[in-house]
Amino acid sequence: MADAAGSSMVTAEEHLAWILDRVPALAPRSLPVGEAHGLTLAGDANACHDLPLWDNSAMDGYALRAADVAAAGPASPIALRVLGEVASGSAEDPQIGPGEAVRIMTGAPVPADADAVVPVEHTRGDRADDPWAVERVEVIRRADPGANIRIRGEDTAAGAVLARAGDLLTANRVAALAAAGEAAVLVRPRPRVAVVATGSELQPAGAPLRRGQIPESNSMLVAGLLAECGVAAEAVQVHGDDTDAFARVLAELASQVDAIITTGGVGPGRHDIVRIAVEAEPEVRAVRVAVKPGQPQCTGRLAGGAWIFALPGNPVSAAVSFELFVRPALLRMQGRGEVQRMRLPAVAASSWRGSAGRLQVLPVRIDREPGGLVCRPSVNPRGVSHAVGGSGAANGYALVGPERGDVAAGDPVDVIVLEP
Ligand X SMILES: Nc1nc2c(c(=O)[nH]1)N[C@H]1C(S)=C(S)[C@@H](COP(=O)(O)OP(=O)(O)OC[C@H]3O[C@@H](n4cnc5c(N)ncnc54)[C@H](O)[C@@H]3O)O[C@H]1N2
Residues in the site for ligand MOO, rule: CB under 6 A? 292-295, 312, 314, 317, 385
Cβ proximity of 305 and 159 under 8 Å:
no
Cα maximum dimension of the chain: 95
- Alpha carbons 136 and 139: distance in angstroms, whole number: 10
Cα separation values, 375 from 156, 360, 363, 409, Å: 41, 14, 9, 10
Tell me which of ligand X, ligand MOO, none is bound by residue 202, counting a contact when its beta carbon lies within the kind-specific cut-off of 5 to 8 angstroms: ligand X
CA-to-CA separations, 304 to 89, 235, 320, in angstroms, rounded: 56, 17, 27
Which span sits near ligand X by CB under 6 A: 124-132, 184-192, 257-265, 300-308?
A: 257-265
Contacts of 396 (CB under 8 A, 6+ apart): 363, 364, 365, 366, 375, 415, 416, 417, 418, 419
* Size (the chain), residues: 420
Q: What is the Cα–Cα distance from 247 to 180, expressed in whole angstroms?
A: 51
Strands 184-188 and 29-32: antiparallel
The item of ligand MOO, ligand X, none sharing an interface with residue 60, based on CB under 5 to 8 Å by kind, is none
d(CA 183, CA 391): 44
What is the smallest separation between the CB atom of 293 and ligand X, expressed in angstroms? Answer: 6
CB 299 within 8 A of CB 308: yes
CA 266, 399, 419, 225: dihedral to nearest 10 degrees?
A: -10
Q: Taking a C-beta distance cutoff of 8 angstroms, is the pair 179, 88 a contact?
A: no
With CB cut-offs between 5 and 8 Å by kind, which of ligand X, ligand MOO, none does residue 269 bind?
ligand X
Which of 196/331 has CB closer to ligand X? 196
Cβ-based nearer residue to ligand MOO, 300 or 313 = 313
Residues numbered 357 to 396 that lie near ligand X (CB under 6 A) are: 385-386
Rounded distance, CA 46 to CA 350, Å?
49
Q: Does 242 bind ligand X (CB under 6 A)?
A: no
Options 33-41, 126-134, 265-273, 360-368: segment touching ligand X (CB under 6 A): 265-273
Q: Which does 156 bind (CB under 5 to 8 A by kind): ligand X, ligand MOO, none?
A: none
Q: How many CB atoms lie within 10 A of CB 262?
A: 31
Strand partners, 365: 376
> Judged by CB under 6 A, does residue 299 bind ligand X?
no
Task: Choose the contact partner of 297 out of ligand MOO, ligand X, none; CB within 5 to 8 A by kind.
Answer: none
Binding at 28: pick from ligand MOO, ligand X, none (beta carbon under 5-8 Å per type): none
Ranges within 307-336 binding ligand X (CB under 6 A): 312-315, 317
Choose the one of ligand X, ligand MOO, none that binds residue 85, judging by a C-beta under 5 to 8 angstroms depending on kind: none
The entry of ligand X, ligand MOO, none near residue 402 (CB within 5 to 8 angstroms by kind) is: none
Binding string to ligand X for residues 267 to 296, with x set by CB under 6 A, is what?
xxx--x--------------------x-xx
Q: Is 304 one of the binding residues for ligand X (CB under 6 A)? A: no
CB-based closest residue to ligand X: 313
Comparison of 52 and 293: residue with beta carbon closer to ligand X? 293
> Smallest gap, in angstroms, from Cβ of residue 288 to ligand MOO?
8
Q: Counting contacts by CB under 6 A, is residue 201 touching ligand X?
A: yes
Residue 105: count other Cβ atoms within 10 Å of its Cβ.
17
Where do contacts with ligand X occur on this chain (CB under 6 A)? 6, 197, 199, 201-202, 214, 216-219, 263-269, 272, 293, 295-296, 312-315, 317, 385-386
